Structure formats: C-alpha cells, structure tokens
Structure 1
Amino acid sequence: MKDDLFEKWMEAGDIRTFPAGTVLLQDGSYIRSVPVVLSGVVKVLKQNDEGREILLYYIQPGESCVMSFLGGLHEEKSKIKAVVEEDADVLLIPIDEVRRLIREEYGFIEFMFRLYHRRFEEVLSVLEAVAFKRMDERLLSLLHKKVLLNGSPQLQITHQQLADELGTDRVVVSRLLKQLENEGVVQLGRNRIVVMKTSP
C-alpha cells in the first residue's frame, strides 16, 4: 500500500481501537463502512441458521474485508461476521466515501481486487479442507495459523472457540487436543494451548 494513497484513505475515514472479542460486523446487518485493519487481527466467519460458525479468513494489518466492500456497495445485508481476534486499530471508511474513492482513486480499486483474489483462494482452501481433510488435520492447521498470527506458540484460547472456528462440536476438539497432547504436539492448560511443534 503506497503511503500517498493511504493518506487519502485515512482522510476519508475514522480510526477506532477495538478490544479482542468485539464484533465489527454482524451477519444479517447492513454494512455502513468498510474496515481497513491498521494493527491487530480480525477474523471473518460464516454463520448458519443454527448459529454454528466456521472461519473463512483473517484480516491482517494493511488488509480489508472484501465481503463488506462488495456488500456495502450493493446495499446488501452482511453475509459474514467479523470479530476482532487481537486488539485492533481499524480505519472505518463510510460507504459513500468508498464510492468516491472508487471513482477518484484507481489505487483503491487495485487494492481491493488484489485482496479479492487472495480471499477467494483462502475460501477455496476452507472448502477443500472441509471436503477432503480430517478434523485433526484442520485443527492442527488452524493452530499453526494462529501461532503465526500471534507470533507466539502460546495461545490464549478455549476449546469452544476453536470448535466455533472449525464449525464442529467442543467435545470433538477436546478429544483431538488430548490426542495431540499425548503425541507431544501441544501442551494444554486452562484456556491456554502451547503448540510444541510449530511446523505444519
């Protein structure tokens, strides 16, 4: 992201700080602004009618949410849920300003198209994992991803949170984590998991 372009985006929106756990965008709500993450991490999930969720992708610093971008432009209700994973500073650009940036700033469109391509590949990876990978493989892959995002092998997370992101039941995740602990892959504590082997 070029500095001169980013400065124009900063002028178009407001920067807000959100603690971990904050829901930035609720499934079924109207999209009023497009988030650009400046620091921290935001996770994007898909929720079904029963309330079960599955992780689609993470938004890291310097990235935005293409789903909110497209939904906001078409004045549609959100089809995803966005939750702050780590305390985050987020630039919120109102939809009217997004429309102006599309008209006036080619760099903004280019930025969103690059992100769209990346997110499409990530969502395909999720579909592939759900269709073809065992749950233990998916769990281990998620743990490795979180280690990379957090920059630490020690994760403050519950079994229920992992189950929610994988779209499965807590008892399944607890059983698989115990199996991984017996294999020396992880070390379990209260709301804490230490990943002993960090290579996927």
Structure 2
Amino acid sequence: MRNDQIEEVIQLFPFLSAISTNDWNQEGVEIVSLPVHFVIPEGKLLNHAALILEGAVRMSRLGTNGREVTLYRLTNGECCPLMMASILGESAYEASACIEKPTRALVIPVPLFFVWLDTYKSFRQFVFQTFAKRLILMSNLIDSMKFKSIRTRIAEYVLEKTTDECNVLTITHDQLSMELGTVREVISRTLKGMEREGMLRLGRGQITHIQRHQLLTAIE
C-alpha cells in the first residue's frame, strides 16, 4: 500500500499505527471500492476482513419467519463484529451486508488477519471492543423486538432519524418493515393510526409533519 493510503487508514483506525511496514506490504492488503447495492450474502465463507473507510453498509438477517430485519449499519471507522465472528470461528457469515452508499474499505486477507491478531495487542483490543459494543446493540435490538409494541418502535425510529429542524423522513412502508423486522401490513396499519392521531402525515415514500412531542407520548 502507498504511504498516503496507510495514513488515511490510520486516521480512522489509530490502533493500526502499530502495524509494521512489512505487514502493510503483504499481498492482499488493499483499499477496495464497493458500489451501491453490492451484497455479501448470508452464508458466505469470508476470505477477507474489512474495515470501513467511507460509505454506509446495512447489515441484515432473515428470521425464522422469513422476514428480513436490519441489525445495524456500519460507516466510517467501523467494522462488522459478525464478520469477525465468522472469520474467528471459520464459519459461514451469519448476516447479509448491503452497500447503501459508495463504500471504500481496507481489506485484510484472513490468514494475515490471524497474524495481526496474534502479533499486535492494539489490534486484538479493537476486535474485542467491537464485539462488546455490538453485543450491547444487539441485546437492545432483541429486547425492543420482544418487549416493545410496533407503535413504540416506529415512534422511536422516526424520532431517531429526524430532528426539530428536519421533520421529514424519506422511507417506504416496505423499507420500514425491513428496518423493524415485521410485515408491511402491520407498519401501514400502525402508521395510519398514528396519522389519525395527528402524530405525523403520510406521503408517497415519506413521513412528514412529524410532531415530536406527540411521538414521545407513544413511547411506552
């Protein structure tokens, strides 16, 4: 890799400053560009670990009921813990990764990933910290799906994705159903009920006139 590329990577992943010049120059260590809609499917055996330098990646999984649910998103300076789990366990990828925005990533061949893991303490710490952070997020997601009503989850999602200054959310009912892991009909029915109560207004592919103070009352 070129020096300017290494510097770019280290700006986002400071712990990689410990990597030796020789390891940076190993075959297969490179920055790749991934186009929108590129997908790494669930069940794939991975040959590389990837650290996101720029872009957005949506991680999702099919439930036992056949519905797709969004697990989390990755952006600049992040990597996927499920990817790491797949590599460390030498098992199939347990999620699907879909590129939502043009993405650039540092890729590291799996054999070299293990070498770096053994050699560099800072690299090991990053891997373990990534697991810990995402474990908490996944636990919160499971709690939300199991114990919160769909009305509450919609309200929380809309509030998270909007602000007082920007109270328009561009999303279809199908997309929202994938985000929340339920069927479109339930989303549509619940949104229409919230619209009747004056919490928001529904448009084509949009949720507008969002009344944040009223949505807060919908959160159980």
TM-score range, shorter chain: 0.7 to 0.9
Unmatched 5+ residue regions in structure 1?
Answer: none
**Percent of pairs identical after alignment?**
27
Residue in 1 aligned with 2:172? 158
CA distance in 2 between counterparts of 1:185 and 1:34 reads 43
1:5 aligns with 2:22: no
Q: How many residues end up aligned between the 2 structures?
A: 197
Residue in 2 aligned with 1:125? 140
1:192 aligns with 2:203: no
Residue in 2 aligned with 1:136? 151
Instruction: Give the conservation status (yes or no) of the 8 Å contact 2:68–2:181.
Output: yes
SS at match of 1:29: coil
Residue in 2 aligned with 1:22? 38
Decide which of 10, 26, 40 is 2:55's aligned counterpart. Answer: 40
Give how far 1:4 is off.
Answer: 6.3
Question: For the structure 1 residues 34 and 124, does the alpha-carbon distance in structure 2 shift closer, same or farther, using more than 3 Å as the test?
Answer: same
Question: For the structure 1 residues 39 and 153, does the alpha-carbon distance in structure 2 shift closer, same or farther, using more than 3 Å as the test?
Answer: farther
Residue in 2 aligned with 1:171? 185
Question: For the structure 1 residues 139 and 90, does the alpha-carbon distance in structure 2 shift closer, same or farther, using more than 3 Å as the test?
Answer: farther
Residue in 1 aligned with 2:71? 56
SS at match of 1:175: helix
Instruction: Give the conservation status (yes or no) of the 8 Å contact 1:188–1:194.
Output: yes
Structure 1 length as normaliser, TM-score? 0.82
CA distance in 2 between counterparts of 1:195 and 1:70 reads 42
Instruction: Give the conservation status (yes or no) of the 8 Å contact 1:73–1:95.
Output: no
Instruction: Give the conservation status (yes or no) of the 8 Å contact 2:13–2:77.
Output: no
Question: For the structure 1 residues 16 and 156, does the alpha-carbon distance in structure 2 shift closer, same or farther, using more than 3 Å as the test?
Answer: farther
Structure 2 length as normaliser, TM-score? 0.75
1:86 aligns with 2:101: yes
- Please provide the CA RMSD for this pair: 2.9
Give how far 1:111 is off.
Answer: 0.9
Residue in 2 aligned with 1:100? 115
After TM superposition, the structure 1 stretch with the greater mean CA deviation from structure 2, 168-177 or 89-98, is: 89-98
Give how far 1:102 is off.
Answer: 0.5
Give how far 1:50 is off.
Answer: 5.3
Unmatched 5+ residue regions in structure 2?
Answer: 1-11
CA distance in 2 between counterparts of 1:156 and 1:69 reads 32
